[in-house]
Amino acid sequence: MSNETVRDLESLYRTLLLEVGEDPEREGLLKTPHRASEAMKYVTRGYDESLEDVVNDAIFHETSDDMIVVRDIEFFSLCEHHLFPFFGTVSIGYIPDGRIIGLSKLARITDMYARRLQVQERLTVQIADAVQQTLQPKGVGVVIRAQHLCMMARGVEKQGVEMLSSHVLGVFRSDRATRAEFIELVNGRK
């Protein structure tokens, strides 16, 4: 995001304060347009990242063909419908076909897509597709559990509601036993 874009955002946030009936010149709000624009820049930085840069050649050749699951990767995003946060955890599983990925890269892939205006359904598919594209594994599965502030703080105002979404590819889709093993590992909380 360029400095000009940040200045434009600051102006928009100042106008927003005026529109909700606030005085952007009062002490507590003097720096709010700047802080809010910097925050928006931060939470949408995924637009400035690419899969290639995030993975950064952290692909390793291994003969393992057992399921790998990384569970409970924390994330936050912004709902594209209301610009309210949603947050939760992502669990990613894959069965290698000669290649594995550095563990932190799965969290970085998650963040790259989460740090954009999103809907949970698309985020789930984007993460699975990115792992598939990067590794060409035998199969990929992604499960996201999230709470949406747009449901908690407006509209129906229901607290504690969790949305679950999943997307599976390859043997996770074609083989029920593989899919069941993945779901069991994801749900195997203590």
Which contacts qualify for 153-159: CB closer than 8 Å, 24 or more apart? 153/84, 154/82, 154/84
Does residue 80 have an active-site annotation?
yes
Does residue 81 have an active-site annotation?
yes
Q: Is 9 helix (H, G, I), strand (E, B) or coil?
A: helix
CA distance 111 to 75: 7
Angle in degrees, 0-180, between the axes of helices 32-43 and 3-19, rounded to the nearest 10: 120
Catalytic residue among 82, 132, 147, 181: 82
Residue 100 carries which side chain, given as an amino acid letter?
A: I
Catalytic residue among 81, 121, 133, 136: 81
Does residue 150 have an active-site annotation?
yes
Catalytic residue among 22, 38, 132, 150: 150
Catalytic residue among 74, 80, 121, 184: 80
Catalytic residue among 10, 118, 126, 148: 148
Does residue 132 have an active-site annotation?
no
Catalytic residue among 10, 79, 118, 167: 79
**What H or E segment, with its residue span, contains residue 61?**
strand 59-61
Catalytic residue among 10, 118, 120, 126: 120
Does residue 148 have an active-site annotation?
yes
For the annotated catalytic residues, the residue numbers are: 79-82, 120, 148, 150
